Amino acid sequence: MFNDIGPLELVTLVVLAVLVFGPDKLPKVIQDVTRTIRKIREFSESAKQDIREELGPEFKDFEFEDLNPKTFIRKQLDNDELGLKEIRNGFDLKKEMAEVTDAVHGRESEASSSSGATGSAASSGGRVDMSKKPEDTDRGDRPPFDADAT
């Protein structure tokens, strides 16, 4: 319940409680708070049990924590009926991004260069020769630039 309270905050709360309630009333206040928390927990458990009884026998193992989206997703991923772990393990994001980057820059990826295909960019170590004029390059690969179209 109070997992995110550190030792410094706890000491601060105790000192504040002693200052506000005084050392003689503090034990009575702690008992009252403890009794109230206990009653709230009993009421909550009673309500959960009533809901389980109303849902019927097919929901007797129903847990209310499953309604939390994080818990639900974690259980579904652990179940793995859809084969999500296989898909996740078979997908290498870094490799895919490298291939897309190489394709955008006009370089050959490692897979295509290792299969024996050679290109001007791959043979020059991935560098593009900027000394060539556009009319010197092979125009069969792409259409000519049209300034009015852009």
HEC sequence for 61-72: CCCHHHHCHHHH
First-residue to last-residue Cα distance in the chain:
60
Q: Are 62 and 52 in contact (CB under 8 A)?
A: yes
3-state secondary structure of 130: coil
The pTM for the full model equals 0.41
Spans of all domains in the chain? 1-62, 66-117
121, two tokens: 């960019």
d(CA 128, CA 111): 20
Closest by alpha carbon to 106, among 78, 138, 131, 83?
Answer: 138
Q: What is the pLDDT along the chain (150 residues), one digit of tens a residue?
A: 567 888 899 899 989 999 999 989 999 999 999 999 999 999 999 998 888 888 888 877 778 777 788 887 777 777 656 666 677 677 777 888 888 888 888 876 554 554 444 444 444 455 555 555 555 555 557 777 777 776
